[in-house]
Amino acid sequence: MNSPISTDELQQQIRTVLRRTIGEPVDNLGPDDDLATALGSRYDSLTALECINAIESSFDIEVDFVAQDVRYWFATLGRMTTFVRDQLEDRASLGSVR
């Protein structure tokens, strides 16, 4: 069984994924910074969707846009980290893939 990844490591992986879509301004974000406020026009609704898709692909998870409040979970780096961690833990405990 793989050892669980630390929150800091997971957050760094998410930051790397977001950097591909948003660019270097992601490096200056704190975990609780609101992305729309901190990044302004760089984080519009289309960019948010691109980030969600990139997170899904990178971590092999699926975001349910109906059941999960993506405006909440994808508003800060810290919330994204919690969301991804929960999805990975659920998948591991259920023993299934997407």
CATH of residue 61 = 1.10.1200
Average pLDDT over residues 65-72: 92
Using the predicted structure, report yes or no on whether residue 3 has a pLDDT greater than 60: no
Q: Is 65 part of a structural domain of the chain?
A: yes
Model confidence over 26-66: pLDDT tens digits? 999 999 999 999 999 989 999 999 999 999 999 999 999 98
Residue with tokens 């591909």: 20
| Domain assignment of residue 55, given as a range | 30-94
Nearest-angstrom CA–CA distance, 47 and 41: 9
As for how many domains the chain has, the answer is 1
Predicted confidence band of residue 4 (pLDDT cuts 50, 70, 90): confident
Q: Is 6 part of a structural domain of the chain?
A: no
Nearest-angstrom CA–CA distance, 15 and 40: 17
Amino acid at 62: E
Q: Which pLDDT value is given to residue 16?
A: 96
Amino acid at 40: G
Using the predicted structure, report yes or no on whether residue 90 has a pLDDT greater than 60: yes
Average pLDDT over residues 62-84: 95
> CA 30 from chain center: how many Å?
14
Using the predicted structure, report yes or no on whether residue 1 has a pLDDT greater than 70: no
Token readout for 62 is 């699926």
